[in-house]
Structure 1
Amino acid sequence: MTDISSSSHLKSKCIDPQNGLYAVHKSIHGASTPLHVQIKIWGEQQHVSCEFSECQANMELAWRSGLQSYQCVHLRSVSYCKTFLTSPSLREDSLKEMVKSKWFGKDKIKLCVDRQTLAKENSAPLSVLSKIGAPPSKKCISVHEPTISYYSRLGRVMVSYDTKKNSWHCPCAKTQRSCTHKYIAKWHLFQTNAELFRKVRSTERSAEEFQVTAMEESDVGENTYPPKDAPAIQGMVQYILMNKKIPSTIPNHLRLSSVDKEFPRHLIPEETLCNHCPNRMVLSDPICFTQKAKILTTSGIVRDISTYYKYCPTCGALYQYQEWSESLHNFNDHVLLDLPLCLTIRNLLQVHTAVSRIVEYLELTTGVQFPSADTVLHGYLHFEALTDHEYQYSCVTCGDHPPVVIMDLHKKASFHLSVSDLAQAPEDFNGDVDSEQFWKALTEERIARGFVSSQKNNPFSVPTKFSLLGTLDREKYTALRLCP
């Protein structure tokens, strides 16, 4: 047991003097979210308790053993509390301003005001900012909760906001889902620390946080990123192919590699209006997907890059960062390649150098461990699928044909299949194929690869076959005829 004394105790602040509620640092060392304790030994309803489950178990064991005076380290530290925290008077006009800024819908005004009224009736502060325990980058707000439950054993919950990760946490809600306590905590910070709201908004993916007309909770899952269902992936793939094509001739200042090149640390989609909605709805503020993305270059790896996405609060369309004009190609929001590296891989493949050897060369040259050769290959093929190639190759037998990158030394072309493994063509196959349709399907497969964890999960996977039969929501698959 830790010896609690005037010189060694947990920091604590009183947040509700009338009900004897305190916010106490969870542990002696390190930073952590503070927890609630209650020591009320006056009036008719007396109560002494700590909301930490481990402390509750220890206290129950001590009481069953006859040690009625036992108290945990958090309760004993309260004896040395000398200050109390005040609760600001939250105004309704601040809520209206938040609705105007599209932080949440109009119906949340009544929800927050009703909770404020209920807190006054119970003689409890609605929200109190705790300044103990947590690191400076985290804001912890103790919010009144009228119902006693597993997450509010003392009638309060501790909502935290991480200013570095732009993320909210409440013990009553699942990750990245909104709740009443978060609404109140945002109301508190919006009124007392408005500059926080001028930065990128939180990573919560609940649509009702950003639209004027609130959605039902059942609709929140539509904005999950990266998309999981085939229609959502297809919508993103079609939009990227339509609007994010890389020109066949890249400007020289983007083609050349430079050791001193500085990349942006926050990669945010440039779209501000939805291109799918007829009335061009305003998109949500950027939402951070990860802060650990990596940019692969010919001179090494740039780490700790933040990637963001946006979504339309009306139709749920998702928008990914994909801006080639910044000399970057985004594969899957975790791995990005700069354009000089993509062009280097293309040139080395055309002189019959396998991707695994290219990665080995980069690691030996830079002294940095790169992702696996498969990851680099998928990222490169993603780049080629988005490039607007100028088709100048033709065969005397087959006629016009899209340009191909010779990859025989790596994996027998991008199909992972040898020619000898192909089944014989059906007897009724006359050799007529729709090459444009086939390459379009193959391009969609490559782009969709950036949204799935593996090729087997890719809903747009293209099998290599002679027949016109196919599935996966396509009308047909065209045959692939191999040029000798």
Structure 2
Amino acid sequence: MELAWRSGLKAYKCIHLKSITYCSSYASTTVLGEDTLTEMVKSRWFGQDKKKVCLDLQSLANSNHVPLSVYCKTGVPQSVKYISIYEPTVSYYSRLGRVIVSYDTKKNSWHCPCHRTKKSCIHKYIAKWHLFQTQRELFRKVRSTEEVEVLTSAGDENTDDGADLGDIMYPPKDDQKLKVMVQYILKNKKIPVVLPEHFRLPSVEMEYPRHLIPEEIMCQHCPGNVLLSDPILITQKAKILTSSRIIHDVSTYCKSCHQCGSYFRYQEWKDGIHNFNDRILLDLPLCISIRNMLQVHTAISRVVEYLERTTGVKFPSADVIMHGYLHFEALTEHNYQYSCVNCGDHPPVVIMDLHKKGAFHLSVSDLSPPPEDFNGQTDMHSFWEALSVERIGRGFVTSQQLNPFTVPPSFNFWAPWIGPKTCRSNHVLNTEFQKVRPPKPTEASEITVTEDRLREELYKQKAKTQFIRFSIFNSH
């Protein structure tokens, strides 16, 4: 257009001016409020410095009598939002004094022509301000912790400012933080002994939520009312295993405390789901079915084979399902009501039959000797609680070798389980260490045999013995 003007063609119109003739409606101007921007700062969408930049650009737009931001209803696809932002500096990306910022709601990606990368800019801040005021439902502020970046919130983006949530370390690498998280699950997320009828019987018609968000709002460790963060996305590809099908593309979330750094994940049995490792979830009827199958001496590998043949779909490995089931049992309240019809609650002797599948090969030499002052007394309750913590901790690591709560076999910390109504106290006697024999003195490491002695022994062989070819090699 400038070239046409320099050539004397003052009546020339560019394609943008010509297209105005075909416009069927006018874009409405939205006045962005400072209170909305203040709310975004409190919610940590961006900091105070970015707020000041946004207000300065709004003041400049008002002084020039132009709208700061205009929502464009045209454009395809419909899942992409286009916002026209005022830009006072004319450049290669803003020839007309406006910049079009686009936001893809499906891919959750922002685009501004002033930057070819994902780096934030003032135009994206204004666009987020506009959408936060007009379409609040787009802002859920979640962030993925997977290796592949999956952003599912209009305002959460990889930027260099302090607006985003930072690097999400979930599950926490610190053993102490992980221990706090495991202990909280063990104490507060217990599954009752008797479940409702619809949770014990499998049903094809049962519907499960697709977005699993922890119900905690306040931090359970910090004193006072400390709000937790908004839901943080762990994965969008979790699976819910049932007896009849596998539900794919389930999103699991966690929440964090900005004060103590604790994490809270989804672990709600009231939805009929048991969360094992945030990616593999089992519905409660499947857990009950596995328990019943084990009680009739059916291995979990056979259970998995049965499920695959019945449903026609590929299930995770039997080892993963076994760890998920043991995770379920570690969180289940068990009602031990052992009683003998003759002796009552306290029989003099309790005999348990051998369970061969519970045995494992372990050399005695692999066990470290107990302390010298060990008298055989072992706290049964502490031992089995440690095993429960080990099972729960398995849901946060990829292998048992990485589990910081592993309980290795030992003489001084190993105890049977006896019901509370059958034992006098939590301390039981473990005398296995007394069966270990002391090591034998080492024998002579070398026995010398002369050639004459060896020849003499060969001559003493019986006549029926076949000839033995014997060669003696000289050292020469």
**Same-fold call, TM cutoff 0.5:** yes
Match of 2:34 in 1: 92
Distance 1:435 1:284, change over 3 A: same
For the Cα contact (< 8 Å) 1:127–1:185, is it kept in 2? yes
Aligned length: 382
For residue 295 of structure 1, the aligned residue among 240, 257, 266 is 240
- Which runs of structure 2 are paired with 1:204-219 in the superposition (5 Å)? 217=162
For the Cα contact (< 8 Å) 2:200–2:284, is it kept in 1? yes
TM-superposed CA distance for 1:453, in Å, is 2.4
TM-superposed CA distance for 1:247, in Å, is 1.4
Match of 2:302 in 1: 357
C-alpha separation between the residues in 2 aligned to 1:391 and 1:398? 18
The answer to whether structure 1 residue 136 and structure 2 residue 78 are counterparts is yes
Match of 1:440 in 2: 385
Bigger shift: residues 114-123 or 92-101:
114-123
Match of 1:31 in 2: none
Distance 1:257 1:106, change over 3 A: same
Q: Tell me the SS of whatever aligns to 2:240.
A: strand
Distance 1:423 1:224, change over 3 A: closer
For the Cα contact (< 8 Å) 1:168–1:182, is it kept in 2? no
TM-superposed CA distance for 1:337, in Å, is 0.6
For residue 184 of structure 1, the aligned residue among 122, 126, 130 is 126
For residue 216 of structure 2, the aligned residue among 271, 274, 287 is 271
- Letter of the structure 2 residue corresponding to residue 187 of structure 1: W
For the Cα contact (< 8 Å) 1:346–1:405, is it kept in 2? no
Give the TM-score taking structure 1 as reference length: 0.63
Measured against aligned partners, the alpha-carbon deviations of 1:111-144 in whole angstroms (never above 9, x if no partner) come to: 4324556889999986665667764334355778
Match of 1:328 in 2: 273
- Which runs of structure 2 are paired with 1:236-315 in the superposition (5 Å)? 236-315=181-260
TM-superposed CA distance for 1:445, in Å, is 2.0
The answer to whether structure 1 residue 343 and structure 2 residue 285 are counterparts is no
Measured against aligned partners, the alpha-carbon deviations of 1:263-302 in whole angstroms (never above 9, x if no partner) come to: 2222221222221221222333334333322111111212
- Which runs of structure 2 are paired with 1:113-192 in the superposition (5 Å)? 113-114=55-56, 116=58, 135-139=77-81, 154=93, 161-164=103-106, 167=108, 169=110, 183-192=125-134
Match of 1:7 in 2: none
Q: Tell me the SS of whatever aligns to 2:408.
A: coil
C-alpha separation between the residues in 1 aligned to 2:221 and 2:353? 33
Provide structure 1 residue ranges, at least 5 long, that are not aligned to the other structure. Answer: 1-38, 45-77, 211-215, 469-477
Match of 2:178 in 1: 233
Please, what is the CA RMSD of the aligned residues? 4.9
C-alpha separation between the residues in 1 aligned to 2:123 and 2:322? 46
Q: Tell me the SS of whatever aligns to 1:259.
A: coil
Provide structure 2 residue ranges, at least 5 long, that are not aligned to the other structure. Answer: 7-14, 146-150, 156-160, 340-344, 414-427, 436-476
For the Cα contact (< 8 Å) 2:101–2:123, is it kept in 1? yes
For the Cα contact (< 8 Å) 2:276–2:327, is it kept in 1? yes
For the Cα contact (< 8 Å) 1:345–1:358, is it kept in 2? yes
Distance 1:421 1:192, change over 3 A: same
Match of 2:52 in 1: 110
Match of 2:361 in 1: 418
Q: Tell me the SS of whatever aligns to 2:78.
A: coil
The answer to whether structure 1 residue 460 and structure 2 residue 400 are counterparts is no
